[in-house]
């Protein structure tokens, strides 16, 4: 047995770090040499830990200037003898992609009160930034409606008849409802990312779930002369899942199919049993999605990069599919789309048996 009193501490640190979801990096100063990095770096930055051990921390920066800024902030913190520092900065994935990250740094001092080591906890917050940008962009239009109409009601109420006042108030009410729903989606995405969503599992008949969704959206589909159909071989097969969440996914797929389909077409809800999983999809006869655009569908800003537009002037925030992806992954399933431009699209997900 070794007499080195530091070994148990190092061993404990390593065990804890390997269980962490964030990237944990230990750096020696003043060289900023990476002495330790946990396995989470592979998913976040594309490197295996041995590829980075012994390398300079600068390797993860997109350019020398960004690394220099980090060094200056550390020097300022050290001059004040701070033990912790938080910084948001740009880092680079192995494939060259630039990531926006949040770095919590613990500063360790030697006997001479000089910083000698850093323990960094790095988290990729790129999607969080994109999500906030999306919400800010989407809120701008409804907020302008609220501001404009409320100003009219305040300044010119005396010149409006009761019918005009009722119409304006109705628009204000619907706009406020839309904003509330968008904020609910934001909370949904954030809750999933923070791991704060608990699934309430119960046995449900998947075919019955599909039929209920058809009944729910028949009126909306009929407004665009779209026919809804169910084709399922699942029978009365029950599956343990979160009824509300799986219903949320199928509803989103169905809403999008109706939204992007032209009149006098058919939207099908499909359900099949495979050897190891159940497969559920929604197939439309809309414009389809070019292959090069499909990669953006389940990203926070994917909707802005999709050329297909709703056929009835409907709006889309692009948050729905992001939430769907997180719901299905929480169930241990997969989610995707099959589509060729001009040939419609099938959005689907699987649930493992």
71-84 tens-digit pLDDT: 999 999 998 999 99
Q: Yes or no: is domain 6-124 CATH 3.30.450.20?
A: yes
The pair phi, psi for residue 8, each rounded to 5°, is -60, -40
pLDDT single digits (tens) 227-285? 999 998 887 778 889 888 898 899 889 988 998 899 999 999 999 988 889 999 999 99
| Per-residue tokens: 337 | 């789309």
pTM over 0.75, yes/no: no
CATH number (1.10.287.130, 1.10.3720.10, 3.30.70.100, 3.40.630.30) of 128-193 reads: 1.10.287.130
- Per-residue pLDDT tens digits for 54-105: 999 999 999 998 899 899 999 999 989 999 999 988 999 999 988 889 999 9
* All structural domains of the chain with their residue ranges: 6-124, 128-193, 201-352
Q: What is the pLDDT of residues 210-231, one digit of tens each?
A: 888 888 888 888 889 999 999 9
- Specify the fold of 201-352: Heat Shock Protein 90 (3.30.565)
Contact of 254 with 269, CB cutoff 8 Å: yes
256 in Cβ contact with 288 (< 8 Å): no
Contacts of 166 (CB under 8 A, 6+ apart): none
The beta strand positions in the chain, using DSSP E, are 23-28, 33-37, 84-92, 98-109, 115-124, 201-205, 227-232, 238-242, 266-273, 277-283, 335-339, 345-352
Distance CA 340, CA 289 (A): 6
């Amino acid at each position: 047995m070794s007499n080195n009193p530091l070994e148990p501490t190092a061993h404990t640190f390593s065990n804890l770090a390997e269980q962490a979801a964030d990237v944990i990096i230990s750096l020696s100063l003043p060289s900023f040499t990476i002495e330790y990095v946990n396995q989470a770096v592979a998913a976040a930055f594309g490197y295996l830990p041995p590829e980075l051990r012994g390398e300079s921390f600068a390797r993860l920066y997109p350019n020398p200037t960004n690394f220099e800024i980090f060094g200056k902030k550390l020097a300022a913190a050290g001059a004040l003898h701070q033990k912790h520092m938080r910084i948001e900065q740009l880092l680079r994935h192995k494939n060259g992609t630039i990531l926006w990250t949040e770095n919590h740094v613990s500063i360790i001092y030697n006997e001479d009160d000089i910083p000698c080591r850093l323990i960094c906890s790095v988290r990729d917050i790129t999607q969080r930034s994109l999500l906030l940008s999306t919400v800010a962009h989407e809120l701008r239009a409804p907020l302008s409606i609220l501001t404009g109409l409320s100003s009219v009601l305040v300044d010119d109420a005396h010149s409006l008849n009761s019918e005009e006042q009722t119409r304006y108030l109705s628009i204000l009410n619907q706009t406020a409802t839309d904003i509330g729903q968008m904020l609910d989606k934001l909370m949904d995405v954030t809750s999933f990312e923070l791991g704060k969503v608990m699934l309430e599992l119960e046995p449900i008949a998947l075919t019955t779930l599909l039929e209920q969704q058809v009944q729910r959206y028949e009126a909306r589909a009929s407004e665009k002369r779209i026919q809804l159909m169910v084709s399922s071989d699942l029978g009365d097969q029950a599956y343990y899942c979160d009824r509300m969440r799986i219903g949320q996914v199928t509803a989103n797929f169905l809403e999008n199919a109706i939204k992007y389909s032209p009149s006098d077409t058919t939207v099908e809800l499909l359900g099949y049993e495979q050897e190891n999983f159940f497969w559920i999809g929604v197939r439309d006869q809309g414009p389809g999605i070019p292959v090069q655009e499909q990669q953006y569908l389940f990203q926070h800003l994917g909707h802005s990069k999709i050329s297909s537009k709703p056929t009835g002037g409907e709006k889309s925030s692009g948050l729905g599919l992001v939430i769907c992806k997180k719901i299905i992954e929480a169930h241990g399933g997969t989610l995707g789309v099959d589509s060729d431009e001009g040939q419609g699209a099938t959005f689907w997900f699987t649930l493992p048996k």
